[in-house]
Amino acid sequence: MVEEQGRSRLGRGLAALIGDVGEEIGAIERARGQRKVPVEFLRPNARNPRKAFAEAELEDLAASVRERGILQPIIVRSIPGMIDAYEIIAGERRWRAAQRAELHDVPVILVEANDREALEIAIVENVQRADLNAMEEAAGYERLIAEFDYTQNDLAKVIGKSRSHVANTLRLSKLPEPVKRMVGEGAVSAGHARALLAVSEPEQVAKRIVEEGLTVRDIERLGQDEARSENKPVRAAVPKPEKDPDTRAVEKALEEALGLGVSIQHRASGGGEMRISYKTLEQLDALCRRLKA
């Protein structure tokens, strides 16, 4: 009970720390105060769930920083045993942009946070700003569960998301590695990724998303079709009647003449149908020319 209350209080503190600029400045004054430090005093956090930083986005942010400076301070904590060194908890993208913009100093919020709290802040800050891709978000949730014994309910409360969102995001970790890479690179969206969980061959379908532009609804339909197929009762195969020798002889003669597969279905009434199979459009074109001639 005490731990749950602690997490609830921490969640409210995080909300203040990662809110709008005005809210964040208010949180600073209530904490240890805002300050400016040389950009080289900051160190990236190896535990930061965000791993991908788009080059174009960094350039755009750097241009904005040159023009207006950093409006939202970077949240940091002291590095034990080191003087004038701070580990970034939230705001690594701003720090990278500041370096590109050749700023000498950056505004920071210095907070006291243990590893668990630092990871929470990093995840919440990125999730609320939609800076994490779905796989980074899932990895962050898994880390809190594995290292700090969080339940899905704990995560939902602290992060401000529904429990179903947390559960669905965690399920993405079950996808094959090639699909995870495609999600991380942005080739496959989070909505597509969740739908892929319901198909038997997610890697092949993911390739079709990229090549054919399949929608989330298309993938959901594939999953539903597979489910219906699996639940359909298996019927005993009805043996096909053997073709008489004369029919087989006609099929063979036509196949040799056309260079294509031929199947004839003859009915007792005297009628029937003939099917000609082709593998390429070139074969179809050639057949059409021969029939016209």
Residue 97 has pLDDT above 80, yes or no: yes
Residue with tokens 């073709």: 243
Ramachandran sector of residue 91 (left: φ over 0; alpha: ψ -120 to 50; beta: rest): left
3-state secondary structure of 42: strand
CA 288 to CA 290: how far, in whole Å?
A: 5
Residue 257 has pLDDT above 80, yes or no: no
Q: Where does the pLDDT of residue 196 fall: very low under 50, low under 70, confident under 90, or very high at 90 and above?
A: very high
Segment 35-52, tens digit of pLDDT: 888 989 998 887 777 766
What's the CATH number of domain 175-230, 3.40.980.10, 1.20.1250.20, 1.10.10.2830, 3.30.70.260?
Answer: 1.10.10.2830
- State mean pLDDT over 11-24: 40
- Which 8-state DSSP code applies to residue 127? H
Closest CA to 186 of 260, 130, 102: 130
Residue 28 has pLDDT above 60, yes or no: no
Q: Does the active-site annotation cover 92? A: yes
Encoded tokens for 193: 């990724």
Q: Does domain 2-168 have CATH number 3.90.1530.10?
A: yes
Segment 105-139, tens digit of pLDDT: 898 988 888 888 787 777 776 665 656 778 888 88
pLDDT at 144: 78
Segment 56-89, tens digit of pLDDT: 777 878 888 888 888 788 888 888 878 888 888 8
Per annotation, catalytic residue among 24, 87, 92, 137: 92
- Looking only at Cα atoms, what is the longest distance across the chain? 97
Name, in order, each residue with C-beta under 8 angstroms of 96's C-beta and a sequence gap of 6 or more.
53, 58
DSSP alpha helices (H): ranges in the chain?
Answer: 2-17, 21-30, 55-68, 92-100, 115-128, 134-148, 152-159, 163-171, 177-184, 190-196, 202-212, 216-231, 245-258, 281-292
pLDDT at 33: 61
Q: Where does the pLDDT of residue 2 fall: very low under 50, low under 70, confident under 90, or very high at 90 and above?
A: very low
2-168 and 175-230 share one fold: no
Domain chopping of the chain, boundaries: 2-168, 175-230, 245-292
